[in-house]
Structure 1
Amino acid sequence: MTKCGYVSVVGRPNAGKSSLLNWLVGEKIAMVSHKANATRKRSNIIVMHEDDQIIFVDTPGIHETEKLLNQFMLDEALKAMGDCDLILFLAPVTDKVSHYEDFLEKNKKNVKHILLLTKIDFVSNAEVLAKMKEYEKYSDKYESIIPISIKKQTKQSDILNDVVKHLPEHPYLFDPEIMTTEHLRDIFKEFIRESIFENISDEIPYETDVKIDKVEEKPHIDVVKATIIVQKGTQKGMIIGKGATAIKRIGKDARVKIEKLTGKKCYLELFVSIKKGWTKNKEGLKELGYDID
Protein backbone atom coordinates (compact mmCIF):
# COMPACT_ATOMS: atom_id res chain seq x y z
CA MET A 1 0.00 0.00 0.00
CA THR A 2 1.29 3.46 -0.86
CA LYS A 3 1.42 6.31 1.62
CA CYS A 4 -0.17 9.66 0.84
CA GLY A 5 -1.06 12.71 2.89
CA TYR A 6 -1.05 16.46 3.43
CA VAL A 7 1.93 18.15 5.05
CA SER A 8 1.59 21.83 6.01
CA VAL A 9 4.77 23.89 5.91
CA VAL A 10 4.52 26.66 8.49
CA GLY A 11 6.69 29.19 10.29
CA ARG A 12 7.08 32.89 10.86
CA PRO A 13 7.22 35.26 7.83
CA ASN A 14 10.45 34.82 5.86
CA ALA A 15 11.40 31.51 7.52
CA GLY A 16 12.17 29.99 4.08
CA LYS A 17 8.99 27.97 3.46
CA SER A 18 8.60 28.66 -0.28
CA SER A 19 12.33 28.20 -0.96
CA LEU A 20 12.23 24.82 0.79
CA LEU A 21 9.23 23.68 -1.26
CA ASN A 22 10.73 24.73 -4.60
CA TRP A 23 13.88 22.81 -3.63
CA LEU A 24 11.91 19.70 -2.64
CA VAL A 25 9.88 19.61 -5.87
CA GLY A 26 12.89 20.55 -8.02
CA GLU A 27 10.97 23.32 -9.81
CA LYS A 28 10.13 26.94 -9.11
CA ILE A 29 6.43 26.80 -8.23
CA ALA A 30 6.05 28.79 -5.00
CA MET A 31 6.62 32.54 -4.80
CA VAL A 32 9.88 33.44 -3.05
CA SER A 33 10.86 36.86 -1.72
CA HIS A 34 13.44 38.15 0.74
CA LYS A 35 10.64 40.38 2.05
CA ALA A 36 8.34 39.02 4.74
CA ASN A 37 4.65 38.18 4.15
CA ALA A 38 4.98 37.68 0.39
CA THR A 39 2.90 34.45 0.40
CA ARG A 40 -0.79 35.26 0.84
CA LYS A 41 -2.67 32.02 0.19
CA ARG A 42 -2.30 28.31 0.72
CA SER A 43 -1.09 26.32 -2.27
CA ASN A 44 -0.46 22.62 -2.81
CA ILE A 45 2.88 21.34 -4.12
CA ILE A 46 3.06 17.62 -4.86
CA VAL A 47 6.24 15.61 -4.37
CA MET A 48 6.56 11.94 -5.32
CA HIS A 49 9.05 10.16 -3.07
CA GLU A 50 9.70 6.64 -4.29
CA ASP A 51 6.19 5.08 -4.27
CA ASP A 52 4.63 7.61 -1.92
CA GLN A 53 2.87 10.92 -2.56
CA ILE A 54 3.36 13.96 -0.33
CA ILE A 55 1.07 16.97 -0.79
CA PHE A 56 2.93 19.88 0.77
CA VAL A 57 0.85 22.94 1.62
CA ASP A 58 2.69 26.27 1.36
CA THR A 59 1.29 28.80 3.83
CA PRO A 60 1.59 32.50 4.73
CA GLY A 61 3.82 33.29 7.71
CA ILE A 62 2.35 33.02 11.22
CA HIS A 63 2.08 36.52 12.68
CA GLU A 64 -0.39 38.76 14.49
CA THR A 65 -1.68 42.02 13.03
CA GLU A 66 -4.73 44.25 12.83
CA LYS A 67 -4.72 44.53 9.02
CA LEU A 68 -7.57 42.71 7.26
CA LEU A 69 -5.38 41.14 4.54
CA ASN A 70 -2.92 39.88 7.15
CA GLN A 71 -5.79 38.44 9.20
CA PHE A 72 -6.81 36.48 6.09
CA MET A 73 -3.21 35.25 5.73
CA LEU A 74 -3.01 34.09 9.36
CA ASP A 75 -6.34 32.31 8.94
CA GLU A 76 -4.97 30.51 5.86
CA ALA A 77 -1.99 29.25 7.89
CA LEU A 78 -4.18 28.11 10.82
CA LYS A 79 -6.60 26.27 8.50
CA ALA A 80 -3.69 24.48 6.82
CA MET A 81 -2.37 23.41 10.24
CA GLY A 82 -5.73 21.99 11.28
CA ASP A 83 -6.43 20.13 8.02
CA CYS A 84 -3.21 18.14 7.53
CA ASP A 85 -1.61 14.83 8.54
CA LEU A 86 1.72 16.36 9.52
CA ILE A 87 3.26 19.82 10.00
CA LEU A 88 6.78 20.90 9.12
CA PHE A 89 7.61 23.84 11.36
CA LEU A 90 10.48 25.92 9.98
CA ALA A 91 12.58 27.64 12.62
CA PRO A 92 15.53 29.74 11.37
CA VAL A 93 18.50 28.79 13.55
CA THR A 94 19.01 32.39 14.70
CA ASP A 95 15.39 32.74 15.91
CA LYS A 96 14.32 32.84 19.53
CA VAL A 97 12.45 29.76 20.75
CA SER A 98 9.43 32.03 21.45
CA HIS A 99 8.32 31.67 17.78
CA TYR A 100 8.09 27.90 18.32
CA GLU A 101 6.20 28.39 21.59
CA ASP A 102 3.70 30.59 19.74
CA PHE A 103 3.26 27.83 17.12
CA LEU A 104 2.60 25.24 19.86
CA GLU A 105 -0.19 27.44 21.22
CA LYS A 106 -1.73 27.82 17.76
CA ASN A 107 -1.54 24.08 16.98
CA LYS A 108 -4.93 23.57 18.63
CA LYS A 109 -5.48 20.05 17.29
CA ASN A 110 -1.98 18.95 18.36
CA VAL A 111 -1.19 17.75 14.86
CA LYS A 112 2.15 15.94 14.99
CA HIS A 113 5.05 17.93 13.61
CA ILE A 114 8.70 17.84 12.59
CA LEU A 115 10.92 20.77 13.55
CA LEU A 116 13.24 21.95 10.77
CA LEU A 117 16.10 24.24 11.81
CA THR A 118 16.66 26.35 8.69
CA LYS A 119 19.37 28.72 7.45
CA ILE A 120 22.17 26.81 9.18
CA ASP A 121 24.60 28.00 6.45
CA PHE A 122 24.94 31.30 8.32
CA VAL A 123 26.16 29.91 11.65
CA SER A 124 28.80 27.53 12.99
CA ASN A 125 28.15 23.86 13.85
CA ALA A 126 28.56 24.76 17.53
CA GLU A 127 25.73 27.32 17.24
CA VAL A 128 23.50 24.75 15.53
CA LEU A 129 24.13 22.26 18.35
CA ALA A 130 23.47 24.95 20.97
CA LYS A 131 20.13 25.81 19.34
CA MET A 132 19.13 22.14 19.17
CA LYS A 133 19.87 21.89 22.89
CA GLU A 134 17.52 24.86 23.50
CA TYR A 135 14.71 22.93 21.81
CA GLU A 136 15.40 19.77 23.82
CA LYS A 137 12.97 20.78 26.56
CA TYR A 138 10.17 20.43 23.97
CA SER A 139 11.31 17.01 22.74
CA ASP A 140 8.01 15.45 23.80
CA LYS A 141 6.20 17.85 21.44
CA TYR A 142 7.96 17.19 18.10
CA GLU A 143 8.54 13.92 16.21
CA SER A 144 12.09 14.87 15.23
CA ILE A 145 14.36 17.89 14.79
CA ILE A 146 16.38 18.24 11.57
CA PRO A 147 18.93 20.99 10.87
CA ILE A 148 18.76 21.78 7.14
CA SER A 149 20.56 23.77 4.49
CA ILE A 150 19.01 23.76 1.02
CA LYS A 151 22.21 25.25 -0.41
CA LYS A 152 24.55 22.49 0.78
CA GLN A 153 24.80 19.52 3.20
CA THR A 154 21.11 18.46 3.20
CA LYS A 155 19.65 16.06 0.63
CA GLN A 156 15.93 16.14 -0.19
CA SER A 157 15.67 12.50 0.91
CA ASP A 158 16.87 13.44 4.43
CA ILE A 159 13.57 15.28 4.90
CA LEU A 160 11.27 13.21 2.68
CA ASN A 161 12.18 9.88 4.33
CA ASP A 162 11.25 11.30 7.71
CA VAL A 163 8.01 12.89 6.41
CA VAL A 164 6.74 9.69 4.80
CA LYS A 165 7.11 7.76 8.11
CA HIS A 166 4.27 9.86 9.57
CA LEU A 167 1.82 9.69 6.63
CA PRO A 168 -1.17 7.33 6.48
CA GLU A 169 -1.39 4.42 4.07
CA HIS A 170 -3.60 5.73 1.29
CA PRO A 171 -3.94 5.62 -2.51
CA TYR A 172 -2.65 8.67 -4.40
CA LEU A 173 -4.93 11.69 -4.19
CA PHE A 174 -3.54 13.28 -7.37
CA ASP A 175 -2.03 12.22 -10.68
CA PRO A 176 1.66 11.49 -9.89
CA GLU A 177 2.69 13.46 -12.99
CA ILE A 178 1.51 16.83 -11.66
CA MET A 179 3.58 19.08 -9.39
CA THR A 180 0.82 21.35 -8.11
CA THR A 181 -2.97 21.59 -7.94
CA GLU A 182 -2.72 25.32 -8.72
CA HIS A 183 -4.02 26.52 -12.10
CA LEU A 184 -1.37 27.93 -14.43
CA ARG A 185 -3.00 31.36 -14.27
CA ASP A 186 -2.57 31.38 -10.46
CA ILE A 187 1.12 30.49 -10.80
CA PHE A 188 1.54 33.24 -13.41
CA LYS A 189 -0.12 35.68 -10.99
CA GLU A 190 2.36 34.75 -8.24
CA PHE A 191 5.33 35.12 -10.62
CA ILE A 192 4.19 38.66 -11.49
CA ARG A 193 3.70 39.47 -7.78
CA GLU A 194 7.15 38.11 -7.03
CA SER A 195 8.63 40.33 -9.75
CA ILE A 196 6.92 43.37 -8.16
CA PHE A 197 8.46 42.46 -4.79
CA GLU A 198 11.89 42.14 -6.42
CA ASN A 199 11.74 45.38 -8.39
CA ILE A 200 9.71 47.83 -6.30
CA SER A 201 10.92 48.90 -2.89
CA ASP A 202 9.30 49.64 0.47
CA GLU A 203 5.62 49.07 1.23
CA ILE A 204 4.24 49.34 -2.30
CA PRO A 205 4.42 45.59 -3.10
CA TYR A 206 2.28 44.88 -0.02
CA GLU A 207 -0.46 47.17 -1.34
CA THR A 208 -0.51 45.63 -4.81
CA ASP A 209 -2.13 42.56 -6.23
CA VAL A 210 -2.41 40.99 -9.67
CA LYS A 211 -5.48 40.00 -11.66
CA ILE A 212 -4.95 37.68 -14.62
CA ASP A 213 -7.27 38.93 -17.37
CA LYS A 214 -6.48 36.40 -20.08
CA VAL A 215 -4.30 33.35 -20.72
CA GLU A 216 -4.20 31.98 -24.24
CA GLU A 217 -2.11 28.83 -24.61
CA LYS A 218 -0.81 28.34 -28.15
CA PRO A 219 1.53 25.54 -29.32
CA HIS A 220 4.72 27.63 -29.12
CA ILE A 221 3.72 30.68 -27.07
CA ASP A 222 1.51 31.65 -24.14
CA VAL A 223 -0.26 35.00 -24.35
CA VAL A 224 -0.85 36.43 -20.87
CA LYS A 225 -2.62 39.70 -20.08
CA ALA A 226 -2.69 40.87 -16.47
CA THR A 227 -3.58 43.94 -14.41
CA ILE A 228 -1.54 45.09 -11.44
CA ILE A 229 -3.90 46.53 -8.80
CA VAL A 230 -2.68 49.41 -6.61
CA GLN A 231 -4.38 51.62 -3.98
CA LYS A 232 -3.19 55.12 -4.97
CA GLY A 233 -2.23 57.16 -8.00
CA THR A 234 1.31 57.66 -6.66
CA GLN A 235 1.72 53.89 -6.46
CA LYS A 236 0.60 53.53 -10.08
CA GLY A 237 3.30 56.01 -11.08
CA MET A 238 5.96 54.02 -9.21
CA ILE A 239 4.86 50.69 -10.69
CA ILE A 240 5.04 52.15 -14.21
CA GLY A 241 8.22 54.16 -13.58
CA LYS A 242 9.77 56.96 -15.61
CA GLY A 243 9.46 56.11 -19.29
CA ALA A 244 7.73 52.85 -18.25
CA THR A 245 11.09 51.46 -17.08
CA ALA A 246 9.76 49.85 -13.88
CA ILE A 247 6.83 48.01 -15.48
CA LYS A 248 9.10 46.80 -18.30
CA ARG A 249 11.52 45.41 -15.72
CA ILE A 250 8.67 43.70 -13.81
CA GLY A 251 7.33 42.25 -17.06
CA LYS A 252 10.72 40.96 -18.18
CA ASP A 253 11.41 39.25 -14.84
CA ALA A 254 7.95 37.64 -14.75
CA ARG A 255 8.20 36.50 -18.38
CA VAL A 256 11.53 34.73 -17.70
CA LYS A 257 9.96 32.87 -14.73
CA ILE A 258 6.90 31.85 -16.79
CA GLU A 259 8.99 30.67 -19.73
CA LYS A 260 11.26 28.61 -17.48
CA LEU A 261 8.24 26.81 -16.03
CA THR A 262 6.31 26.22 -19.27
CA GLY A 263 9.29 25.60 -21.56
CA LYS A 264 7.91 27.91 -24.26
CA LYS A 265 7.80 31.60 -25.15
CA CYS A 266 5.49 34.00 -23.34
CA TYR A 267 4.00 37.27 -24.53
CA LEU A 268 3.13 39.16 -21.35
CA GLU A 269 1.13 42.39 -21.36
CA LEU A 270 0.76 44.30 -18.08
CA PHE A 271 -1.69 47.06 -17.18
CA VAL A 272 -2.03 49.04 -13.94
CA SER A 273 -5.34 49.92 -12.28
CA ILE A 274 -6.17 51.89 -9.11
CA LYS A 275 -8.62 50.32 -6.65
CA LYS A 276 -8.69 52.71 -3.70
CA GLY A 277 -8.24 51.13 -0.28
CA TRP A 278 -8.70 47.55 -1.54
CA THR A 279 -6.61 46.09 1.34
CA LYS A 280 -8.71 47.89 3.96
CA ASN A 281 -12.23 46.61 3.22
CA LYS A 282 -13.79 43.17 2.94
CA GLU A 283 -15.41 43.89 -0.44
CA GLY A 284 -12.13 44.93 -2.06
CA LEU A 285 -10.37 41.88 -0.66
CA LYS A 286 -13.15 39.52 -1.71
CA GLU A 287 -13.00 40.83 -5.29
CA LEU A 288 -9.38 39.72 -5.46
CA GLY A 289 -10.08 36.29 -3.94
CA TYR A 290 -9.40 36.95 -0.25
CA ASP A 291 -12.52 35.94 1.64
CA ILE A 292 -12.49 37.31 5.19
CA ASP A 293 -14.79 35.42 7.59
Structure 2
Amino acid sequence: MSTPTQFGYVALIGLPNAGKSTLMNTVIGAKVSIVTPKVQTTRRRVLGVFIQENTQVAFLDTPGIFTPSTRLDKAMVNVALQAIQEADLVCVIIDACKRLTDHERLLTIAKQSGRPICVVLNKVDKTPKDKLLVLAQTISETYGFNEIFMISALKAQGTEDLLKYINQKMPEGPWLFEEDDLTDLSLQDLATEFTREKLFAFLHQEIPYGLMVQHELWKEDTPGKVQIYQRIVIEKNNHKGIVLGHNGTLIKKVREAAQKDIRQLIQKKVQLFLQVVVKEDWK
Protein backbone atom coordinates (compact mmCIF):
# COMPACT_ATOMS: atom_id res chain seq x y z
CA MET A 1 0.00 0.00 0.00
CA SER A 2 1.47 3.34 -1.05
CA THR A 3 2.01 6.17 1.41
CA PRO A 4 -0.63 8.92 0.97
CA THR A 5 0.62 12.22 -0.36
CA GLN A 6 0.40 15.48 1.54
CA PHE A 7 0.01 19.02 0.22
CA GLY A 8 -0.42 22.37 1.88
CA TYR A 9 0.16 26.13 1.69
CA VAL A 10 2.53 27.84 4.14
CA ALA A 11 2.38 31.65 4.37
CA LEU A 12 5.58 33.46 5.30
CA ILE A 13 4.64 36.75 6.94
CA GLY A 14 6.73 39.35 8.70
CA LEU A 15 7.95 42.92 8.76
CA PRO A 16 9.78 44.24 5.68
CA ASN A 17 13.30 42.79 5.47
CA ALA A 18 12.67 40.10 8.08
CA GLY A 19 14.17 37.47 5.78
CA LYS A 20 11.02 35.90 4.28
CA SER A 21 12.35 35.82 0.71
CA THR A 22 15.77 34.60 1.83
CA LEU A 23 14.16 31.75 3.76
CA MET A 24 12.03 30.66 0.82
CA ASN A 25 14.96 30.78 -1.62
CA THR A 26 17.08 28.78 0.84
CA VAL A 27 14.40 26.12 1.26
CA ILE A 28 13.60 25.89 -2.45
CA GLY A 29 17.28 25.85 -3.41
CA ALA A 30 16.82 28.46 -6.13
CA LYS A 31 16.12 32.17 -6.46
CA VAL A 32 12.39 32.53 -7.02
CA SER A 33 11.91 35.64 -4.88
CA ILE A 34 14.19 38.65 -5.17
CA VAL A 35 16.18 39.89 -2.20
CA THR A 36 17.66 43.35 -1.56
CA PRO A 37 18.71 45.29 1.57
CA LYS A 38 15.82 47.71 0.96
CA VAL A 39 12.47 47.23 2.66
CA GLN A 40 9.31 46.51 0.67
CA THR A 41 11.22 44.70 -2.08
CA THR A 42 8.54 41.99 -2.36
CA ARG A 43 5.41 43.57 -3.82
CA ARG A 44 3.27 40.54 -4.57
CA ARG A 45 2.76 37.01 -3.38
CA VAL A 46 5.52 34.76 -4.71
CA LEU A 47 4.98 30.99 -4.56
CA GLY A 48 7.81 28.51 -4.16
CA VAL A 49 7.42 24.72 -4.27
CA PHE A 50 9.25 22.42 -1.86
CA ILE A 51 9.13 18.61 -1.94
CA GLN A 52 10.31 16.17 0.69
CA GLU A 53 9.41 12.49 0.32
CA ASN A 54 5.61 12.30 -0.01
CA THR A 55 4.95 15.91 0.98
CA GLN A 56 4.69 18.94 -1.30
CA VAL A 57 4.63 22.39 0.29
CA ALA A 58 3.71 25.61 -1.49
CA PHE A 59 5.42 28.47 0.34
CA LEU A 60 3.80 31.89 -0.06
CA ASP A 61 6.36 34.68 0.25
CA THR A 62 4.45 37.87 0.99
CA PRO A 63 5.14 41.61 1.13
CA GLY A 64 6.14 42.89 4.55
CA ILE A 65 3.31 43.97 6.85
CA PHE A 66 3.62 47.68 7.67
CA THR A 67 1.43 50.78 7.95
CA PRO A 68 0.47 51.63 4.35
CA SER A 69 0.41 55.18 2.97
CA THR A 70 -0.27 54.73 -0.77
CA ARG A 71 -2.59 52.57 -2.88
CA LEU A 72 0.35 50.34 -3.76
CA ASP A 73 1.27 49.99 -0.08
CA LYS A 74 -2.31 49.02 0.81
CA ALA A 75 -2.43 46.47 -2.00
CA MET A 76 0.85 44.93 -0.81
CA VAL A 77 -0.35 44.58 2.78
CA ASN A 78 -3.66 43.10 1.59
CA VAL A 79 -1.71 40.44 -0.33
CA ALA A 80 -0.04 39.37 2.92
CA LEU A 81 -3.33 39.35 4.85
CA GLN A 82 -5.02 37.27 2.14
CA ALA A 83 -2.16 34.74 2.18
CA ILE A 84 -2.72 34.22 5.91
CA GLN A 85 -6.31 33.15 5.25
CA GLU A 86 -5.31 30.84 2.38
CA ALA A 87 -2.59 29.04 4.36
CA ASP A 88 -2.70 25.70 6.14
CA LEU A 89 0.11 27.02 8.33
CA VAL A 90 1.41 30.55 8.93
CA CYS A 91 5.09 31.10 9.72
CA VAL A 92 5.59 34.44 11.46
CA ILE A 93 9.14 35.52 10.64
CA ILE A 94 10.63 37.63 13.43
CA ASP A 95 13.81 39.63 12.89
CA ALA A 96 15.59 38.72 16.12
CA CYS A 97 17.82 41.79 15.76
CA LYS A 98 14.83 44.10 16.24
CA ARG A 99 12.86 44.90 19.37
CA LEU A 100 9.83 42.78 20.16
CA THR A 101 7.71 45.94 20.29
CA ASP A 102 8.38 46.37 16.54
CA HIS A 103 6.55 43.08 15.94
CA GLU A 104 3.54 43.57 18.24
CA ARG A 105 1.09 44.44 15.45
CA LEU A 106 2.32 41.53 13.34
CA LEU A 107 1.99 39.01 16.19
CA THR A 108 -1.48 40.34 17.04
CA ILE A 109 -2.62 39.93 13.42
CA ALA A 110 -1.33 36.35 13.45
CA LYS A 111 -3.03 35.59 16.78
CA GLN A 112 -6.38 37.01 15.64
CA SER A 113 -6.31 35.16 12.31
CA GLY A 114 -7.27 31.86 13.91
CA ARG A 115 -4.87 30.01 11.61
CA PRO A 116 -2.26 27.47 12.80
CA ILE A 117 0.84 29.50 13.67
CA CYS A 118 4.53 28.88 14.21
CA VAL A 119 7.03 31.60 15.04
CA VAL A 120 10.43 31.72 13.37
CA LEU A 121 13.16 33.81 15.01
CA ASN A 122 15.46 34.68 12.10
CA LYS A 123 19.01 36.10 12.03
CA VAL A 124 20.10 34.10 15.08
CA ASP A 125 23.66 34.25 13.76
CA LYS A 126 23.59 37.99 14.56
CA THR A 127 21.78 37.80 17.91
CA PRO A 128 23.10 36.86 21.39
CA LYS A 129 21.72 33.55 22.68
CA ASP A 130 20.40 35.04 25.92
CA LYS A 131 18.38 37.60 23.97
CA LEU A 132 16.91 34.82 21.79
CA LEU A 133 15.79 32.84 24.83
CA VAL A 134 14.13 35.87 26.42
CA LEU A 135 12.48 36.74 23.10
CA ALA A 136 11.09 33.23 22.67
CA GLN A 137 9.80 33.08 26.24
CA THR A 138 8.13 36.50 25.99
CA ILE A 139 6.39 35.62 22.72
CA SER A 140 5.17 32.33 24.17
CA GLU A 141 3.85 33.90 27.37
CA THR A 142 2.31 36.97 25.72
CA TYR A 143 0.73 35.45 22.61
CA GLY A 144 0.45 31.77 23.46
CA PHE A 145 2.59 30.60 20.55
CA ASN A 146 4.48 27.50 21.64
CA GLU A 147 5.99 26.39 18.33
CA ILE A 148 9.03 28.67 18.07
CA PHE A 149 12.06 27.97 15.86
CA MET A 150 15.43 29.71 15.76
CA ILE A 151 17.10 29.93 12.37
CA SER A 152 19.48 31.81 10.13
CA ALA A 153 17.79 31.82 6.72
CA LEU A 154 20.90 33.25 5.10
CA LYS A 155 23.16 30.49 6.44
CA ALA A 156 20.52 27.72 6.37
CA GLN A 157 20.94 27.12 10.11
CA GLY A 158 18.02 25.54 11.95
CA THR A 159 15.92 25.12 8.81
CA GLU A 160 15.85 21.31 8.98
CA ASP A 161 13.82 21.25 12.21
CA LEU A 162 11.48 23.90 10.83
CA LEU A 163 10.88 21.93 7.62
CA LYS A 164 10.29 18.73 9.57
CA TYR A 165 7.61 20.49 11.60
CA ILE A 166 6.02 22.02 8.49
CA ASN A 167 5.85 18.65 6.75
CA GLN A 168 4.09 17.13 9.75
CA LYS A 169 1.44 19.86 9.64
CA MET A 170 0.52 19.47 5.97
CA PRO A 171 -2.86 17.79 5.32
CA GLU A 172 -3.30 14.69 3.19
CA GLY A 173 -4.09 15.48 -0.42
CA PRO A 174 -2.84 15.33 -4.00
CA TRP A 175 0.10 17.46 -5.12
CA LEU A 176 -0.95 20.54 -7.09
CA PHE A 177 2.39 21.08 -8.86
CA GLU A 178 4.65 18.94 -11.01
CA GLU A 179 7.77 17.48 -9.38
CA ASP A 180 10.11 19.83 -11.26
CA ASP A 181 8.08 23.02 -10.62
CA LEU A 182 9.84 25.66 -8.54
CA THR A 183 7.23 28.42 -8.70
CA ASP A 184 3.97 29.44 -10.35
CA LEU A 185 5.60 32.56 -11.80
CA SER A 186 6.28 32.54 -15.54
CA LEU A 187 9.82 32.99 -16.85
CA GLN A 188 8.76 36.44 -18.04
CA ASP A 189 7.64 37.40 -14.53
CA LEU A 190 10.86 36.09 -13.00
CA ALA A 191 12.91 38.04 -15.54
CA THR A 192 11.15 41.32 -14.70
CA GLU A 193 11.64 40.62 -10.99
CA PHE A 194 15.39 40.09 -11.53
CA THR A 195 15.62 43.46 -13.28
CA ARG A 196 13.70 45.15 -10.45
CA GLU A 197 16.05 43.56 -7.93
CA LYS A 198 19.07 45.07 -9.71
CA LEU A 199 17.39 48.49 -9.87
CA PHE A 200 16.82 48.33 -6.11
CA ALA A 201 20.46 47.34 -5.63
CA PHE A 202 21.99 50.10 -7.77
CA LEU A 203 19.60 52.98 -7.03
CA HIS A 204 19.39 54.86 -3.75
CA GLN A 205 16.87 56.60 -1.54
CA GLU A 206 13.26 56.80 -2.71
CA ILE A 207 13.68 56.18 -6.44
CA PRO A 208 13.29 52.35 -6.40
CA TYR A 209 9.88 52.70 -4.73
CA GLY A 210 8.70 54.90 -7.57
CA LEU A 211 9.33 52.43 -10.36
CA MET A 212 8.05 49.16 -11.76
CA VAL A 213 9.28 46.81 -14.50
CA GLN A 214 6.95 45.55 -17.22
CA HIS A 215 7.48 42.66 -19.62
CA GLU A 216 7.18 43.66 -23.26
CA LEU A 217 8.47 40.85 -25.49
CA TRP A 218 10.24 37.46 -25.27
CA LYS A 219 11.81 36.34 -28.57
CA GLU A 220 13.50 33.00 -29.14
CA ASP A 221 14.05 32.97 -32.90
CA THR A 222 17.43 31.25 -32.56
CA PRO A 223 17.72 27.98 -30.57
CA GLY A 224 19.56 28.57 -27.31
CA LYS A 225 19.29 32.36 -27.54
CA VAL A 226 16.59 34.61 -26.07
CA GLN A 227 15.90 38.30 -26.60
CA ILE A 228 13.94 39.96 -23.81
CA TYR A 229 12.41 43.43 -23.96
CA GLN A 230 11.33 45.16 -20.75
CA ARG A 231 10.05 48.60 -19.83
CA ILE A 232 11.05 50.42 -16.65
CA VAL A 233 8.21 52.75 -15.61
CA ILE A 234 9.09 55.68 -13.33
CA GLU A 235 6.95 58.38 -11.72
CA LYS A 236 8.98 61.52 -12.32
CA ASN A 237 10.74 62.84 -15.40
CA ASN A 238 13.72 64.10 -13.37
CA HIS A 239 14.37 60.52 -12.22
CA LYS A 240 15.00 59.34 -15.77
CA GLY A 241 18.56 60.63 -15.87
CA ILE A 242 19.30 59.02 -12.50
CA VAL A 243 18.01 55.63 -13.64
CA LEU A 244 20.01 55.86 -16.87
CA GLY A 245 23.15 57.14 -15.18
CA HIS A 246 25.91 59.25 -16.74
CA ASN A 247 26.18 58.19 -20.38
CA GLY A 248 23.92 55.22 -19.61
CA THR A 249 26.40 53.64 -17.16
CA LEU A 250 23.87 52.73 -14.46
CA ILE A 251 21.26 51.17 -16.73
CA LYS A 252 24.08 49.18 -18.34
CA LYS A 253 25.06 47.77 -14.92
CA VAL A 254 21.43 46.86 -14.26
CA ARG A 255 21.06 45.19 -17.65
CA GLU A 256 24.25 43.16 -17.32
CA ALA A 257 23.49 41.99 -13.77
CA ALA A 258 19.88 41.03 -14.59
CA GLN A 259 21.01 39.35 -17.81
CA LYS A 260 23.40 37.16 -15.80
CA ASP A 261 20.69 36.01 -13.39
CA ILE A 262 18.25 35.28 -16.21
CA ARG A 263 20.91 33.33 -18.08
CA GLN A 264 21.61 31.22 -14.98
CA LEU A 265 17.89 30.54 -14.60
CA ILE A 266 17.06 29.47 -18.17
CA GLN A 267 20.51 28.17 -19.19
CA LYS A 268 20.46 30.04 -22.50
CA LYS A 269 22.19 33.06 -23.98
CA VAL A 270 20.25 36.20 -23.10
CA GLN A 271 20.03 39.66 -24.67
CA LEU A 272 18.12 42.04 -22.43
CA PHE A 273 16.79 45.35 -23.77
CA LEU A 274 15.56 47.99 -21.30
CA GLN A 275 13.50 51.11 -22.02
CA VAL A 276 12.83 53.79 -19.40
CA VAL A 277 9.48 55.61 -19.63
CA VAL A 278 7.72 58.14 -17.40
CA LYS A 279 4.17 57.52 -16.19
CA GLU A 280 3.09 59.83 -13.40
CA ASP A 281 0.99 58.45 -10.55
CA TRP A 282 1.29 54.83 -11.77
CA LYS A 283 1.11 53.76 -8.10
Please indicate the TM-score interval, normalised by the length of the shorter structure: over 0.9
1:61 aligns with 2:37: no
Alignment-derived partner of residue 170 in structure 1? 173
Structure 1 alignment gaps of length 5 or more:
280-293
Structure 2 alignment gaps of length 5 or more:
none
Q: Is the 8 A contact 2:32 2:46 kept in 1?
A: no
Kindly state the Cα deviation for residue 221 of structure 1 after the two structures are TM-superposed.
1.7
Report the residue type matching 2:113 in the other structure: K
Report the residue type matching 2:210 in the other structure: E
Alignment-derived partner of residue 28 in structure 1? 31
Alignment-derived partner of residue 92 in structure 1? 95
TM-score normalised over the length of structure 1: 0.91
- Secondary structure of the residue aligned to 2:113 is coil
- Secondary structure of the residue aligned to 1:193 is helix
Kindly state the Cα deviation for residue 129 of structure 1 after the two structures are TM-superposed.
1.7
Kindly state the Cα deviation for residue 51 of structure 1 after the two structures are TM-superposed.
1.6
Report the residue type matching 2:264 in the other structure: K
Q: What percentage of residue pairs aligned between the two structures are identical?
A: 31
- Secondary structure of the residue aligned to 1:46 is strand
Match for residue 214 of structure 1 among 202, 213, 217: 217
Aligned structure 1 segments of 4 or more residues deviating by more than 6 angstroms: none
Kindly state the Cα deviation for residue 153 of structure 1 after the two structures are TM-superposed.
6.6
TM-score normalised over the length of structure 2: 0.94
Alignment-derived partner of residue 184 in structure 2? 181
1:192 aligns with 2:195: yes
Q: Is the 8 A contact 1:21 1:58 kept in 2?
A: yes
Report the residue type matching 2:75 in the other structure: F
Match for residue 251 of structure 1 among 249, 252, 255: 255
- Secondary structure of the residue aligned to 1:278 is coil
CA root-mean-square deviation: 1.5
Alpha-carbon distance in 2 for matches of 1:225, 1:137: 53
Report the residue type matching 1:72 in the other structure: A
Q: Is the 8 A contact 1:112 1:143 kept in 2?
A: no
Q: Is the 8 A contact 1:2 1:169 kept in 2?
A: yes
Alpha-carbon distance in 1 for matches of 2:103, 2:88: 19
Alpha-carbon distance in 2 for matches of 1:61, 1:170: 30
Kindly state the Cα deviation for residue 127 of structure 1 after the two structures are TM-superposed.
2.1
- Secondary structure of the residue aligned to 1:149 is coil
Kindly state the Cα deviation for residue 260 of structure 1 after the two structures are TM-superposed.
1.4
